[in-house]
Structure 1
């Protein structure tokens, strides 16, 4: 089962995804090209190699693709883009975790 990294804006959620993306070579899926560019720039600033983030417009990932799984940044923005309406509420069975740069689970 996966995990949801939750917290307030600018608390390190995307940084944690970048670290995991680098460690496991997983793509990060975002709502638009601007977010993809911003994540790529942040990874470069962190001196971390990641696959270039992909946008929701680049989905679906074709069967037989070498992509084994994805990470999603700003899930509510991504779902709003897909559905075309605001998200009023969400539920999940995923584990909720807070970003923690000292958490060895996420350390490169």
Structure 2
């Protein structure tokens, strides 16, 4: 698992869309309107992605593939039913360079 970190509007969702198109992974988002926005954005980028899923779609019965999570700060409180104060992780954190016109996502290791 890795975490992509940048300020709001910095390209996190764009990076997930590119990764979802490459890997055919689902993006988990916090609402149906966010799912529609992500899907429409992908289409506007000329990319084909699986239609994003929402917290309401959990559990994902039988799905064994990777899930990409957009806006974890919205997802966790929805899943837990409580506000999250602090989180820790041992996952690597990628910070997007907003000065570059293209966001690079490493290929999935096989």
TM above 0.5: yes
Structure 1 vs Structure 2 CA RMSD:
1.5
Question: Deviation string for 1:38-76 (max 9, x for gaps)?
Answer: 10111111111000000011011113x3x4110000011
The count of corresponding residues between Structure 1 and Structure 2 is 103
1:1-108 to structure 2, matched below 5 A, reads 2-63=1-62, 65=63, 67-100=64-97, 101-103=102-104, 105=106
**Structure 1 consecutive aligned stretches of length 4 or more whose deviation exceeds 4 Å:** none
Length-normalised TM-score, structure 2: 0.86
TM-score by length of 1: 0.87
Alignment gaps of 5+ in structure 1:
none
Give the Å deviation of 1:103: 2.8
Identify if the C-alpha distance between structure 1 residues 9 and 102 changes in structure 2 by more than 3 Å, giving closer, same or farther.
closer
